[in-house]
């Protein structure tokens, strides 16, 4: 079930919400939790019920292992062995379902073998619930977990707002809320805040991201089909995709946060205006924050982090980002994308080290530096997204060739006459004026640039609602705080209707494949 | 805090609820695709995917045409003359096998069809059996689940069309008569919009799609072809024994087949495999007549009949109908070996020569 579907918005969410608050008022303490678990498992099974046993086995197995690891009487070596076994089993399942065919294809390409691929369906959300539970096992091993009831653990893993595509939640954040929430009365404030955030997320997804796809998809399709891309059309495709992914992913996260908040559960922030970042380090503190946190806490630090000298630090960083890239998908394009970000991070850290001794600059230089940094970060990120989006390496290369101007520049024919003297001048300079299927007008490009300015400068919904604690973390308050008045309710209602109206163009979230 | 949230929630629910009801009422009243009723405000539209269900529900006919752009030039008046009764062309431009089967299924369910003419474009039936054109295909118009109607009533494109149709109707007092008097039978006809013959073929091919590109990465499993034919063609035929199905393979130009065989051998092989599968599965059915026009001499070897390498002129469409009615070029299972077999296909230099001759051919007055 998609968040952006009538089934979810008009039936599933209201029914589950109603049942939850009714049970809280009338039934024993465990009933609302049981209701949420049942609803979450139903939500998970909606696509394919075949996936459900794997999720249940995973929950049961990890819960049992966590309990066992929490026993104080265990010998350290045995405890370590049990933890290692738990991690291997979790990663083994993930590896089998997600990476087996990638491995076979790579082997065939390298060794010239002709092994057949396996007929495997990737279970939904496996990347997310595997990571959440590995964190739980590691923390159990380190004695950082308390004794959780099975029902609450089930809810921690399967809670439907965050189950399918994150945010990746931590038991430390969620369990206290699930347990504390037992006898909380119905709070209309929670539903109001949840509804606002959900509506904004829905609008981002169906009104913006889906429309941007119309400009990104044909360009990447052309590149993947071996077409030649010229400068402007390649940039238009790359910018459109970068914005599409931003609105798609942040829209999804908003919907997850909003839906959870309706139940009185506050989720962590996952997406905090990343394109506003002034460097790559900051970007990764704003983009898919819960994944970055997991990779930092359970991979980068486990590898030694920055404790073993600069060389090991940078090697750890590269490895973390490469694996982070592969987490997004089983393909070399994702590895390259991760690797590129690893390189960017290494350069960024190196630059910081080099410039750390320089005395503070005047404010205006600092401001200009910040703007240039933001621009450079955007260019790097957009270039890297090309590998993330293209279906083949050749497609990515074709896109990049277009973006660096190797195939010249073509503009829509109408501009030759419209730009009175400028058009012919450009034509003399080698710019070609011709209508391309993927570039009929420059209006979409101007609109995209305006959208870029907006996402780089406007506050996000969490900034606007900071006074209502919309997420677990403290977020920067906007100068303008969004009040929950009848007027905002009116505009929110209109936005909800606009989102609902576009739902017949159902499209999947980009992040579902991860 | 609870009080302000209460007024906020009431406001959002009231706004959303009222807006939704208004939109539903507008869409249901204008009914832009004539799904619920024969709306006098709605304009008939040439988008087959959206419009065909409305035609099927609001008009009566006993002869129907199913297929892709290959069948859009069949004239209802000719069909009526040849087969009797009232005819409807329910083609879908670039329709997949599934989309065509759903259209045929709905027509057969809602109407009593004596004859159904079905143009079997191989490209439509080598796809996965359940494939539809993504979000462009309004599946909710093809089922009888009233709950799915919400996708119709809440569709932004439908609202836009409803408003446009409504505005059109309001613009002049006579609009109501104009709209209701609009023909629904030739909505998809494109025969008079193009020029035919070599220069136009090449101009069109080059500007839009070009000649078939060289590609050898096309893979389609046999099982996919078998299941598509079985689920979409055979199942439809078997479920309606009272209807006579006239299936035919359209006459693509000889040059197209030659180019396909040389440049995209795997796709060429898949097309041939598909044609054989249709013969194997469909010819034993008593209510099926299958016609193979792929080697129709005088047509496929003369590029003057085409607007591009596959789309033929309306005159050829008329000729095909007459031939089907006369039983010419009918295929039986005994002819399995000849279907999809092109022994005299041009190769190498001959293709190049044909292309360059076509490029240099003078335009016909």
Return the pLDDT at B271.
92
Residues from chain B contacting residue A188 (CB–CB below 8 Å): 2, 5-6, 9
- As a whole number, mean pLDDT of residues A28-55 equals 89
Chain A, chain B: beta-carbon pairs less than 8 Å apart: 93
Cα–Cα distance for residue pair A493/B95, rounded to 1 Å: 38
pLDDT band at B10 (very low <50, low <70, confident <90, very high): very high
The closest CB to that of A501, out of B9, B14, B159, belongs to: B159
| Range of lowest pLDDT (A265-269, A493-497, B2-6, B142-146) | B2-6
Taking the CA atoms of B315, B317, B322 and B328 in sequence, report the sign of the dihedral they define.
Answer: positive
Residue with tokens 């009533």: B153
What does the pLDDT average to over B318-345? 82
* Helix (H), strand (E) at residue B152: helix B150-153
pLDDT value for B235: 96
Are B156 and A484 inside 8 Å of each other by CB?
no
Interface touch B2/A487, C-beta < 8 Å: no
Hey, which of A160-174, B178-192, B193-207 has the most confident mean pLDDT? Answer: A160-174
Q: Looking at the partner chain, which of A486, A500, A505 has a beta carbon nearest the beta carbon of B8?
A: A486
**Contacting residues for A50 by C-beta, under 8 A, at least 6 apart:** A121
Please say whether the beta carbons of A136 and A66 come within 8 A: yes
Residues 425-484 of A with CB under 8 A from B: 483-484
pLDDT at A508 over 50: no
Q: How far apart are CA B11 and CA B24, in angstroms?
A: 20
CB contact under 8 A, A490 and B11: yes
Please check whether residue A207 touches B, CB under 8 A.
no
Q: What is the pLDDT of residues A452-490, one digit of tens each?
A: 999 988 999 999 998 888 888 888 888 888 888 899 999
**Over residues B305-312, mean pLDDT:** 88
Q: Is the pLDDT of residue A180 over 90?
A: no
Q: State the Cα angle at A94 between A93 and A99, rounded to 5°.
A: 115
Task: Kindly report the backbone phi and psi dihedral angles of residue B247, in degrees, each rounded to the nearest multiple of 5, phi listed first.
Answer: -95, 145
Split at pLDDT 50, 70, 90, the class of A277 is very high
pLDDT of B171 above 90:
no
Vertex A466 angle, CA A464 and A470, to 5°: 105
Q: Which DSSP string corresponds to A342-376? A: HHHHHHHHHHHHHHTTSPPPPHHHHHHHHHHHHHH
Query: Chain A contacts of B14, Cβ < 8 Å?
Result: 493
Q: Is the confidence at residue A512, as pLDDT, over 50?
A: no
Angle among Cα B138, B246, B340 to the nearest 5 degrees reads 95
According to the 3-state scheme, what is the secondary structure of A244-255? HHHHHHHHHHHH
CB neighbour class for B100 (10 Å; exposed up to 12, middle 13-18, buried from 19): buried
**B19·A494 Cβ contact <8 A:** yes
What are the backbone angles phi and psi of residue A424, rounded to the nearest 5°? -60, -35
Put simply, whether B16 touches A (Cβ < 8 Å) is: yes
> What residues 366-405 of chain A have any CB closer than 8 A to a CB of chain B?
none
- The model's confidence at residue B360, banded by pLDDT at 50, 70 and 90, is low
pLDDT for B74: 93
Peptide bond before residue A167 is cis, with ω within 30 degrees of 0: yes
Q: Which residues of B278-307 are buried (b: 16+ CB within 10 A; e: fewer)?
A: bbebbbebeebbbbbbbbbeebbeebebbb
Which residue from B2, B12, B154 is facing A493, i.e. has the nearest CB? B12
Nearest CA in chain A to B217: A225
- Element at B6 (helix H, strand E): helix B2-30
Residue-level pLDDT at A489: 92
Nearest to A486 among B1, B7, B158 (CB): B7
**Which 122-141 residues of chain B touch chain A by CB within 8 A?**
135, 138, 140
Q: Does A192 touch chain B (CB under 8 A)?
A: yes
| Cα A87 from Cα B186, distance rounded (Å) | 65
A110-114, A289-293, B112-116, range with the lowest pLDDT: A110-114
- Give the nearest partner residue to A504 out of B1, B5, B154, using CB atoms: B154
Of A484, A504, A505, the CB nearest to B5: A484
Q: Which residue of B has its CA nearest to A502?
A: B156
Tokens matching residue B63: 């002869």
Query: What pLDDT is attached to residue B211?
Result: 59
Q: Which residues of A touch B216 (CB under 8 A)?
A: none
Nearest CA in chain A to B215: A225
- The 3-state DSSP class for residue B148 equals helix
Q: Is A505 on the interface with B (CB under 8 A)?
A: yes
Host H or E run for residue B63: strand B63-66
Q: Model confidence over B17-73: pLDDT tens digits?
A: 999 899 888 888 888 899 988 877 788 888 899 999 999 999 999 999 999 999 999
Q: Is B221 on the interface with A (CB under 8 A)?
A: no
- What local confidence, expressed as pLDDT, does residue B175 receive? 45
Backbone torsions φ then ψ of B63, nearest 5 degrees: -130, 135
B213 interaction partners in chain A (CB closer than 8 Å): 226
Q: Do A501 and B156 touch (CB under 8 A)?
A: yes
Grade residue A383 by pLDDT with cuts at 50, 70 and 90: very high
Distances (CA, A) of B293 to B121, B196, B279: 11, 19, 13
Q: In this complex, which of B4, B156, B157 lies closest to A484 when CB atoms are compared?
A: B4
Instruction: Check residue A259 and give its pLDDT.
Output: 95
Tokens linked to B281: 């599965």
Q: Does A490 touch chain B (CB under 8 A)?
A: yes
Least confident of A394-408, B113-127, B154-168, B257-271: B154-168
Place of tokens 């678990």: A37
Give which of B273, B268, B270, B269 is closest to B256, Cα–Cα. B268
Copy the structure tokens of residue B148: 């799915």
For residue A372, give every residue at least 6 positions away whose Cβ sits within 8 Å of its Cβ, in sequence order, or none. none
Which residue in A has a C-alpha nearest to residue B135's C-alpha?
A: A505
Can you tell me the distance from the alpha carbon of B11 to that of A492, in angstroms, rounded to the nearest whole number? 9
pLDDT at residue B364, rounded to an integer: 46
A501 touches chain B (CB under 8 A): yes
Handedness of CA A7, A13, A16, A19 (dihedral sign): negative
Q: Is A487 on the interface with B (CB under 8 A)?
A: yes
Mean pLDDT, residues A210-220 taken together? 88
| Residues in contact with A228: Cβ distance below 8 Å, sequence separation at least 6, in sequence order | A398, A402, A407
A328 catalytic residue (yes or no): yes
- Maximal C-alpha separation, chain A: 84
Residue in A171, A288, A328, A341 annotated catalytic: A328
Give the span between the Cα atoms of B252 and B192, in whole angstroms.
19
Residue B1's pLDDT is 55
**Tokens at residue B54, please?**
């409305």
Taking phi over 0 as left and psi of -120 to 50 as alpha, with beta for the rest, B92 belongs to: beta
CB contact under 8 A, A490 and B12: yes
Q: Which residues, including other chains, have CB under 8 Å from residue B66's CB and lie 6 or more apart?
A: B90, B91, B100, B103, B104, B107, B116, B117, B118, B119
Query: Which domains, and CATH codes, for chain B?
Result: 2-360 (3.40.50.1110)
Q: How many helices (H) and strands (E) does chain A have?
A: 24, 2
User: How far from B77 is each of A98, B186, B248, CA to CA, in Å?
Assistant: 57, 9, 20
Torsion of CA A281, A284, A285, A290, to 10 degrees: -150
For chain B, positions 22-51, list CB contacts with chain A under 8 A: 23
Does A184 contact chain B (CB < 8 Å)?
no
The answer for residues whose C-beta is within 8 angstroms of residue A134's C-beta and 6 or more apart is: A86, A87, A90, A91, A298
Nearest of B188, B197, B206 to residue B307 by alpha carbon = B197
Contact B12 A489 (CB under 8 A): yes
Residues β-bridged to residue B330: B291
**Residue A406 banded pLDDT, cuts 50, 70, 90:** confident
To the nearest whole number, what is the mean pLDDT of chain A?
Answer: 86
User: What phi and psi, each to the nearest 5 degrees, are found at residue A432?
Assistant: -90, 135
Grade residue B252 by pLDDT with cuts at 50, 70 and 90. very high
Interface mutation target, options A184, A198, A497, chain B, most CBs of B under 10 Å: A497
Closest CA to B120 of B135, B136, B104: B104
Q: Does B9 touch chain A (CB under 8 A)?
A: yes
A122 vs A103: CA distance, rounded Å:
15
Contact B5 A189 (CB under 8 A): yes
CA–CA separation, A156 vs B289, rounded Å? 61
Nearest CA in chain B to A186: B2
The answer to whether the Cβ–Cβ distance between A505 and B135 falls below 8 Å is: yes
| CB-CB neighbors (< 8 A) of B150 in chain A | 6, 10
User: Under DSSP, is residue B249 helix (H, G, I), strand (E, B) or coil?
Assistant: strand
* Measured distance between the N- and C-terminal CA atoms of chain B, rounded to whole angstroms: 80
Instruction: Name the residue among B6, B16, B140 with its Cβ closest to that of A493.
Output: B16
Closest CA to A219 of A200, A202, A241: A241
Using one digit for the tens of pLDDT, what is the confidence trace for A44-78?
Answer: 998 888 888 888 999 999 998 888 887 777 788 88
Virtual CA dihedral for B112, B114, B117, B118, nearest 10 degrees?
50
Split at pLDDT 50, 70, 90, the class of B359 is: low
- Helix H or strand E encompassing A425: helix A422-428
ipTM tops 0.85: no
Q: Give the gap in angstroms from C-alpha B138 to the nearest C-alpha of chain A.
A: 8
Query: In this predicted structure, what is the pLDDT of residue A181?
Result: 58
In this structure, the strands spanning A432-433 and B115-119 are unpaired
Give which of A187, A501, A506 to mutate to test B binding, by max B Cβ within 10 Å: A501
Asked if B218 is an interface residue toward chain A (Cβ–Cβ < 8 A), one would say no
Question: Of chain A residues 211-240, which have a CB less than 8 A from chain B?
Answer: 226
Domain ranges of chain A: 6-188, 190-218+230-403+442-513
Q: Is some CB atom of chain B closer than 8 A to the CB atom of A176? A: no
Cβ atoms A513, A329 nearer than 8 A: yes
Which single residue is written with the structure tokens 């204008």? B30
Chain A closest-CA separation from residue B158 CA (Å): 10
Q: How far is it, in rounded angstroms, from Cα B260 to Cα B254?
A: 10
């Amino acid at each position: 079930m998609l968040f952006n579907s009538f089934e979810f918005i008009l039936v599933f969410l209201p029914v589950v919400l109603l049942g939850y608050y009714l049970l809280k008022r009338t039934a024993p303490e465990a009933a609302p939790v049981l209701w949420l678990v049942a609803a979450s498992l139903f939500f998970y099974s909606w696509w394919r019920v075949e996936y459900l046993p794997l999720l249940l086995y995973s929950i049961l197995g990890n819960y049992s292992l966590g309990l066992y690891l929490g026993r104080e009487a265990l010998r350290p070596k045995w405890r370590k062995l049990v933890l290692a076994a738990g991690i291997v089993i979790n990663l083994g399942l993930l590896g089998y379902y997600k990476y087996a065919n990638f491995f076979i294809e790579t082997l065939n390409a390298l060794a010239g073998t002709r092994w057949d691929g396996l007929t495997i369906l990737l279970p939904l959300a496996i990347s997310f619930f595997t990571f959440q539970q590995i964190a739980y096992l590691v923390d159990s091993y380190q004695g950082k977990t308390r004794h959780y009831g099975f029902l609450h653990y089930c809810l921690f893993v399967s809670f439907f707002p965050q189950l399918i595509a994150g945010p990746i939640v931590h038991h430390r954040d969620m369990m206290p809320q699930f347990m504390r929430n037992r006898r909380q009365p119905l709070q209309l404030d929670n539903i109001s805040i949840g509804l606002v955030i959900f509506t904004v997320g829905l609008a981002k997804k169906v009104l913006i991201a889906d429309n941007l796809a119309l400009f990104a998809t044909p360009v990447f399709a052309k590149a993947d089909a071996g077409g030649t891309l010229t400068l402007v059309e390649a940039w238009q495709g790359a910018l459109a995709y970068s914005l599409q992914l931003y609105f798609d992913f942040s829209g999804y996260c908003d919907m997850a946060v909003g839906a959870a908040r309706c139940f009185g559960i506050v989720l962590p922030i996952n997406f905090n205006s990343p394109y506003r970042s002034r460097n790559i380090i900051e970007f990764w503190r704003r983009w898919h924050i819960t994944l970055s946190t997991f990779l930092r806490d359970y991979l980068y630090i486990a590898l030694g982090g920055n404790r073993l000298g600069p060389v090991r630090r940078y090697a750890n960083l590269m490895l973390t980002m490469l694996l982070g890239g592969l987490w997004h998908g089983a393909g070399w394009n994702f590895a390259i994308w991760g690797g590129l970000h690893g390189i960017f991070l290494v350069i960024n850290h190196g630059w910081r080290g080099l410039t750390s001794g320089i005395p503070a600059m005047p404010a205006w230089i600092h401001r200009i530096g910040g703007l240039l940094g933001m621009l450079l970060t955007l260019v790097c990120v957009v270039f890297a997204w090309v590998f993330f989006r293209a279906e083949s390496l050749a497609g990515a290369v074709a896109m990049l060739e277009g973006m660096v101007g190797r195939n010249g520049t073509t503009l829509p024919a109408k501009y030759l006459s419209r730009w009175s003297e400028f058009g012919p001048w450009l034509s003399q300079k080698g710019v070609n004026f011709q209508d391309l299927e993927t570039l009929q007008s420059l209006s979409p490009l101007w609109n995209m640039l305006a959208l870029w300015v907006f996402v780089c400068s406007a506050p996000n919904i969490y900034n606007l609602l900071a006074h209502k604690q919309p997420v677990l973390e403290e977020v920067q308050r906007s100068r303008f705080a969004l009040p929950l008045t009848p007027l905002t309710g009116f505009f929110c209602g209109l936005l909800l209707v606009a989102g609902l109206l576009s739902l017949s163009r159902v499209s999947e979230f980009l992040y579902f494949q991860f | 805090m609870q009080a302000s949230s209460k007024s906020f929630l009431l406001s959002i629910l009231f706004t959303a609820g009222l807006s939704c009801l208004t939109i539903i009422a507008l869409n249901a009243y204008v009914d832009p695709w004539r799904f619920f009723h024969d709306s006098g405000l709605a304009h008939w539209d040439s988008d087959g995917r959206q419009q065909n269900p409305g035609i099927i529900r609001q008009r009566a006919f006993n002869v129907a045409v199913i297929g892709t752009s290959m069948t859009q030039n069949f004239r209802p008046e000719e069909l009526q003359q040849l087969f009797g009764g009232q005819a409807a062309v329910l083609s879908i431009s670039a329709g997949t096998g599934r989309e065509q089967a759903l259209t045929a299924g709905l027509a057969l369910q809602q109407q009593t069809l004596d004859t159904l003419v079905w143009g079997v474009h191989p490209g439509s039936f080598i796809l996965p059996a359940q494939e539809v054109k993504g979000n462009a295909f309004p599946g909710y118009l093809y089922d009888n689940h009233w709950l799915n109607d919400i996708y119709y009533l809440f569709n932004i494109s439908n609202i836009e069309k409803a408003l446009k149709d409504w505005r059109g109707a309001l613009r002049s007092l006579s609009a109501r008569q104009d709209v209701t008097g609009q023909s629904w039978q030739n909505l998809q006809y494109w025969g008079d919009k193009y020029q035919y013959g070599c220069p136009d073929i090449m101009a069109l091919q080059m500007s839009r799609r070009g000649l078939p590109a060289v590609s050898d990465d096309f893979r389609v499993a046999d099982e996919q072809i078998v299941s598509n034919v079985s689920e979409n063609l055979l199942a439809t035929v078997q479920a309606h024994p009272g209807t006579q199905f006239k299936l035919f393979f359209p006459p693509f130009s000889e040059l197209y087949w030659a180019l396909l065989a040389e440049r995209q051998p795997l796709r060429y092989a898949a097309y041939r495999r598909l044609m054989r599968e249709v013969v194997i599965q469909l010819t034993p059915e008593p209510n099926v007549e299958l016609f193979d026009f792929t080697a129709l001499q005088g047509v496929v070897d003369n590029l003057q009949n085409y607007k591009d390498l596959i789309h033929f002129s309306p005159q050829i469409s008329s000729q095909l109908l007459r031939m089907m009615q006369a039983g010419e070029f009918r295929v039986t299972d005994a002819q399995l070996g000849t279907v999809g077999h092109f022994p005299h296909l041009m190769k190498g230099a001959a293709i190049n020569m044909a292309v360059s001759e076509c490029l240099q051919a003078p335009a016909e007055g």
